[in-house]
Structure 1
């Protein structure tokens, strides 16, 4: 994660910018009467994998993450 942010720290000022960079921000995928969201397929795959690992490890020990 430090390498990702270290490349260009100006673009990561908010959580939304980090989500867009890593590719786990929701984007609209609606058509007609439905209102759906899907995850962005773009972004840094290694950063996305690192955040996933952090979440999995936190699920084991942190009660706030479990709830």
Structure 2
């Protein structure tokens, strides 16, 4: 897997996916299942998204732990956090974006057929 993703995180994701990973049809569906899909919270001219409180809470907590570990010691993530902080994003917004990115990585490893991975 990737930086910060430990055995317990993989176990939690395997429990979430279950024995039929093809039932999760898209990366967005997997994100919603994990509770990391963005929910619009715009008002007037302010366009922003908030954290989703739904989905599997244990999977969401596992993704949070991975995001925090990456924010501490992963150089590309530290650069991303620095850039987003300069853009005016809050820490919770940055963590939400990081969790969505982590879900993309996990989905490509667990749910996509191996032929689709080899073709790209």
- Structure 1: gaps of 5 or more residues: none
CA RMSD of aligned residues (A): 2.0
- Structure 2: gaps of 5 or more residues: 1-12, 80-120
TM-score between the two structures when normalised by the length of structure 2: 0.46
Note closer, same or farther for the CA distance 1:11–1:38 as it changes in structure 2 (3 Å cut). Answer: farther
Write the mapping of 1:53-64 to structure 2, written as runs, cut at 5 A: 53-64=65-76
For the Cα contact (< 8 Å) 1:11–1:17, is it kept in 2?
Answer: no
TM-score between the two structures when normalised by the length of structure 1: 0.74
Point out which structure has higher relative CO (alpha carbons under 8 A, 6+ apart): 2
Bigger share in helix: 2
35, 39, 42: which one pairs with 1:27?
A: 39
Bigger share in strand: 1
For the Cα contact (< 8 Å) 1:22–1:43, is it kept in 2?
Answer: yes
